[in-house]
Structure 1
Amino acid sequence: MLLCPSMMCADFGALREETQALDAAGVDIFHCDIMDGTFVPNITMGLMDVRAIRAATNKPIDCHLMVENPSQKIDLVADAGADIIYIHPESERYMVKTLAAIRDKGLKAGLVINPDTSVHTIQEMLNFADYVMVMTVNPGFAGQQFIEFTTEKIKTLASLKERYGFVLTIDGACSPERIERLHALGADGFVLGTSALFGHGPYTEALAKLRAL
């Protein structure tokens, strides 16, 4: 499984050291949440944070754009060092065009599905998605409760992976117990925050426990 630390939960007073420690512990993808305070009611990481992480690791970085009109931000995020860019269908009028533009830059295109977004409304977009991320909490803040009905979206999307060729990831309240259950249902990767990684002891030990699930 792909283990992706949510860097908004890291110690920003030691971001380089945190990145290097997570890299050495064996994470797969560094997950960066970029919020504009409009699409979601919070402001978190920015381009300088992405650049700092990029300078400290050769591992892939994904940027989850919780912003209005993400097509206008693609070049900025790509130049900061992103390898994967996730966008929300609610934030962009021409989603297929923007997903294609991400691919045209040589990056992987990611599609995010909120708890209140139905899979059937985005199915055509799957043709241009390399990654699909299911939000199992409402986007914008860490530390929320898992929304149980999102499990049905995960099952549905897992059944579509082979047809469309995307990687299925999960973001929100990913505890070890849920990771084990959702991985068995077909989820490939998990964004790790305070439920399974940060605040759970040395990174190497926490990740080893998750790998053993």
Structure 2
Amino acid sequence: MCADFSNLEKETQELDQAGIDIFHMDFMDGSFVPNFGMGLQDFELVRSVTEKPVDVHLMIQEPSKYVEKFADLGADIIYIHPEADRQAARTLDIIQQKGKKAGIALNPGTSVEMIQELLPLVDYVMVMTVNPGFAGQKYLSYTNSKIEKLVALSKEYDFDVMVDGAISPEKIEKLSKIGVTGFVLGTSALFGKTGTYQETLEKLRAL
């Protein structure tokens, strides 16, 4: 969402060559969150120019209607918001039946207790550390306790803990020490910085 969309193919190639691990793509419907995100054509373009894993973050109502579509287009990881899906367990099962990794994304106001029954069904849990929908927001520090709870639970249920939202180098350094394994990078750490993407990533990995 934070890339230069005037030349998305070139951006994708440069990020790929710089050594990113996963391409993270936000899809918004203007209903579940007050904004609109990327389109299917954007996904298809990125998927066509990289062999790296591509994930989709479905910030949409009734994601069950679209998970098979994205799986067939080549998504490797599909995140849903349990708050937006009346049958979240079934949707996660569909994702895995398609041979894809299943993830849940938690809004800042969603507690661990509300989704704990889903943890045996997922490969990833992504904690939103801002209210989803817009780039450039301030990190919500009260989400730290939720992250710590999920890191502890990840050892029991075998999932990776990811964080998304205002992830600065300082946050990467702090959260990696408590067990977070993946960071979605936007304007706080990657885009719009001086130097190449490769130089930026090398600095972040050294933290």
* TM-score of the aligned structures, taking structure 1 as reference length: 0.95
Contact 1:32–1:64 under 8 Å retained in 2 = yes
* Aligned partner (choices 151, 174, 178) of residue 158 of structure 1: 151
Aligned partner of residue 127 in structure 1, secondary structure = helix
In structure 1, the residue matched to 2:10 is 17
**Partner amino acid, structure 2, of 1:125:** L
**Equivalent residue, structure 1, for 2:199:** 205
**Match of 1:64, SS?**
strand
Counterpart in the other structure of 1:77: 70
SS in 2 for 1:97: helix
Give the one of 76, 79, 87 matched to 1:86.
Answer: 79
| Other-structure match for 1:63 | 56
Residue number among 121, 132, 138 corresponding to 1:139 in the alignment? 132
Once the two structures are superposed, what CA deviation does each residue of 1:55-113 show, in whole Å capped at 9, x if it has no partner? 11000000000000000011221122210000001100011110011000000000111
For residues 98-146 of structure 1, the C-alpha deviation after alignment (integer angstroms, 9 at most, x for no partner) is 0011000000000111110010110010011100000000010110000
CA distance in 2, matches of 1:191, 1:68: 22
The percent of aligned pairs where both chains have the same amino acid is 58
AA aligned opposite 2:116: Q
Query: What secondary structure is seen at the aligned counterpart in 2 of 1:99?
Result: helix
Q: What is the SS of the residue equivalent to 2:125?
A: strand
2:178 maps to what in 1?
Answer: 185
Q: How far apart, CA to CA, are the structure 1 residues paired with 2:64 and 2:83?
A: 13
Q: 2-side partners of 1:33 and 1:178: how far apart?
A: 21
The total of aligned residue pairs comes to: 206
2:189 aligned with 1:196 = yes
1:180 partner SS: helix
Distance 2:71 2:34 in 1: 24
Unaligned runs of 5+ in 1: 1-7
CA distance in 2, matches of 1:174, 1:75: 30
Q: Does the 8 A contact of 2:57 with 2:79 survive in 1?
A: yes
Structure 2 CA distance, aligned partners of 1:84 and 1:104? 12
Give distance in 2, aligned partners of 1:129 and 1:34.
20
Q: One-letter code of the match for 2:8? A: L
